[in-house]
Amino acid sequence: MLFPIIFFILLGCFSSWLVIHGLLAAGVGQGGAADPQHHHTHSGVIPRIGGVGIAIGFGVTYLLCFFQLNPSDNQTILHFAVVGGAVAAFVLGLIDDFRPLGAKLKLAAQILIATAAYKCGLLIASFEIPFTTTTVDHPLISFVLTIGWFVAIMNLINLIDGLDGLAGGVGLLLMALLVYLGIARGIVFSSILALGMVGAILGFLFHNFPPAKCYMGDSGAYMIGYVIAALSLLNAEKGAILAALLAPALALALPIVDVLFAMTRRAIQGLPLFRPDRGHIHHRLIRTGLSGRSAVLVLYAISLFALVGGLLAFADRGRHFPIFLGFAFMVLLFALRGQKISTASLRVLLADSLQSRQDTRNALYLKNWLMVEAERADSVINLWSDFRFVLKKMGFCRAELQIGAETRDFYVPHTAHEQLDLLWQVTHDTAGQAPALTLYAEKENFSESQFALAADIAAEAWSGACSKWKALNGQSMEFDSVAKEAADYRRQKARNLYRPTY
């Protein structure tokens, strides 16, 4: 028994490591400018090709299943649904990595993939409500729950991919749990695929553990999420399906709670629910002084404890329910502590929300306007003029921008722009330039949380505008940089109509 386990893990690990190593050596995904996304915790060019190695490690393991399993059993539609859906999720993510798709289009594609899995038999057909003898068995409920399960797990793995090694480590723990569940159920196919994925993720982590040389990208995140969701259903038995699904759900307790609080926080602040920010637990750990490596190890430890809770949920058909429920409550308390939530902070947050929701919406409109102006701006200095207009409209009284060795600043007359004791102040790194943008606002006009949010939106606006300007003009950002000649009449007409706001 031990030899097959080691063999499939090493097979997936070596295949994944070798493919990623070869792609990195060939320079795949390393061209172009530094990744300009404002809320990322890294700087520089980090290729998003790790998902390719994970897919190869998983695929090689699946091919060997033809030699290790009963050929007739291996032809079942369930098995093809697991692998076919994983490939479809990988392709969807790979397209998005290199040619970003809209959120609605990605969601529609994920629902389509989940629907195909449902039609193939990977579904939550029925389940018993805990502590009762009632069985829920309705086609519409089955369809909605199945689609929700697949889409939620696929996106959850992607949403926690905000720190080097984090999504890969959590995915590794989930796959290890699925290995145990598959062996406990005697489902050889599920066990082998989970072992292969354990190895594939290990091979990826050799290149992704802080400091990362590559990322898994959406391709790896969607694929891992789909395989977790599919193998969980494959391991489920009629009447015990809740236990089989609850085990991986509990193992994901920390990221689930983190995402729920993030969406609640954004809703209160008047922000789009899926807007990236720097309020996640791993961001807060880093702000306490932990390095990226230390923060991810802390989160590994918490996820490992949650994994134990998942095993307790699975054991003896849920007889240990009070134990893992208490454990989940402990994880929830930790998450609340990490979010620094208290009665007083909630009161302040709600008060700020009522006062600033309109200001937040206006700031987002201004950000989008600046992004459009970046397409028409004929020089960086004029783009900076437009940005000054945005800052004044958002309520900032002073700003300093550094690009390379050159610094530009501005202030709003008749404000306390020189009295630092009356001002909030923050510095953001934007568009790969450091230090980049320092913002000031009068304390009498902003609470601390309102200022932090406004400054974050302003820094995101400048970062996004810089990214678009560089992509359109194919050159680095300097104050004296000018736009290249328009490629067509439409662009030239837009540039002729452009008037910077001095």
pLDDT value for 176: 87
Residue 128 pLDDT exceeds 60: yes
pLDDT above 60 (res 224): yes
Report, as an integer, the average pLDDT of 446-455.
83
pLDDT tier for residue 63 given thresholds of 50, 70 and 90: confident
Q: What is the dihedral of CA 273, 276, 277, 281, to 10 degrees?
A: 90
The answer to whether residue 293 scores a pLDDT higher than 80 is no
Whether the predicted pLDDT of 223 surpasses 90: yes
Task: Look up tokens 């610094």; give the residue.
Answer: 407
Residue by residue, DSSP assigns 210-243 as: SSPS---HHHHHHHHHHHHHHHHHHH--TT-HHH
- The predicted pLDDT at position 427 comes to 86
pLDDT tens profile 229-287: 898 888 775 545 565 677 777 777 777 777 787 777 777 667 766 666 666 777 777 77
The token duo for 282 is 């791993």
Q: What pLDDT does residue 378 have?
A: 83
Please tell me which residue, 53 or 322, carries the higher pLDDT value. 53
Q: Name the pTM for this structure.
A: 0.76
Q: Higher confidence at residue 321 or residue 501?
A: 501
Compute the radius of gyration of the chain from its Cα atoms.
25
| pLDDT tens readout for residues 140-174 | 888 888 899 899 888 888 877 777 778 888 888 88
Which pLDDT score is estimated for 190? 83
pLDDT at 50: 87
The pLDDT assigned to 186 comes to: 79
Q: How far apart are CA 372 and CA 367, in angstroms?
A: 9
pLDDT band at 315 (very low <50, low <70, confident <90, very high): low
Q: What is the mean pLDDT of the chain?
A: 78
Tell me what pLDDT residue 33 has.
40
pLDDT-derived band at 68 (thresholds 50, 70, 90) equals low
Confidence of residue 502 (pLDDT cuts 50, 70, 90): low
CA–CA distance, 308 with 225 (Å, rounded to integer): 20
- pLDDT of amino acid 127: 65
3-state secondary structure of 188: helix
Question: What pLDDT is attached to residue 239?
Answer: 47
DSSP three-state, residue 390? helix
Say if residues 445 and 395 touch (Cβ distance below 8 Å): yes
SS3 annotation, 326-370: HHHHHHHHHHHHHCCCCHHHHHHHHHHHHHHHHHHHHHHHHHHHH
Mean pLDDT of 197-218: 87
Q: What are the residue boundaries of the structural domains of the chain, listed by start?
A: 2-238, 358-496
For residue 179, pLDDT beyond 80: yes
Confidence check: pLDDT of 219 > 80: yes
3-state secondary structure of 379: strand
Quote the pLDDT of residue 142: 81
pLDDT above 80: residue 445: yes
What pLDDT shows up at residue 109? Answer: 93
pLDDT of res. 210: 77
Architecture of domain 358-496: 2-Layer Sandwich (3.30)
Bridge-based pairing state of the strands 127-128 and 135-136: antiparallel
% of the chain at pLDDT higher than 70: 74
227: pLDDT strictly greater than 80? yes
**What contacts 302, CB < 8 A, 6 or more positions away?**
254, 331, 334
How confident is the model at residue 240, as a pLDDT? Answer: 52
Q: Is the four-CA dihedral 297, 303, 308, 314 of positive or negative sign?
A: negative
| pLDDT above 70: residue 458 | yes
pLDDT of residue 324: 61
Q: Is the pLDDT of residue 115 over 90?
A: yes
| Amino acid identity at 415 | T
347-363 pLDDT, tens per residue? 766 666 666 777 888 88
- From the list 354, 351, 304, the residue with the least C-alpha distance to 327 is 304
Examine the pLDDT at 34 and tell me if it is beyond 60: no
Q: What is the mean pLDDT of residues 357-382?
A: 86
